[in-house]
Amino acid sequence: MIVVALQMACSPTADICDANHNLLTKGDVRVLQPIFRIYGQCSAFSGPIVTLKVFEDNVLVRDMLESPGDGRVLVIDGGASMRCALVGGNLGQLANNMGWAGILVSGCVRDVDEINSCYIGVRALGSHPQKSSKKGLGERHVPVNVGGTIIHDGEWLYADTDGILISKLELSV
């Protein structure tokens, strides 16, 4: 049985920036560096953030994606490792089935064609064919550093083809 991910309404990130200039100036809304590639069927997605910090080990990624997503976005600080993938096609499908809106990986994905068939949004630094280790090491719900931006559990992520925004609170245009 395939369950379609709950997609939160997502205003264009350019419109969000234009409508929230004061929050950008104060740092309450941050724009991530344009270093992420776009994967998955949803080019635009948004939702409250759940953070995860791992390094070349995706056991906790699977554990997190096995829980109901409820339209949330999993933000994975993978230490920007380009030596293996933290998310593959099976985890992409799991995220889709469990109702996650998207996944942001400071690291790599694999099984790109499979991820691209999933109705979720995925952003990653690139793809790598090698799977990660399976030691179960990492931390959940902690501040993470993604591309030089500190992201906290419970903040909001807004992504589209223009870029990715992180906000301290839910935004509307």
Q: Which residues are annotated as a binding site for Mg(2+)?
A: 111
Binding site for substrate, residues?
88-91, 110
Report the C-alpha gap between 45 and 141 in whole angstroms.
Answer: 21
Distance between the two ends of the chain, CA-based, in angstroms? 36
Report the C-alpha gap between 129 and 94 in whole angstroms.
Answer: 19
* Tokens read off for 29: 């809304």
Binding site, residues?
88-91, 110-111
Report the C-alpha gap between 9 and 127 in whole angstroms.
Answer: 28
H helical segments located in the chain: 13-19, 21-26, 59-65, 89-97, 112-116
Report the C-alpha gap between 109 and 105 in whole angstroms.
Answer: 8
> Residue 63's closest CA among 80, 86, 84, 79?
86
Residue 105 CB coordination number (10 Å): 29
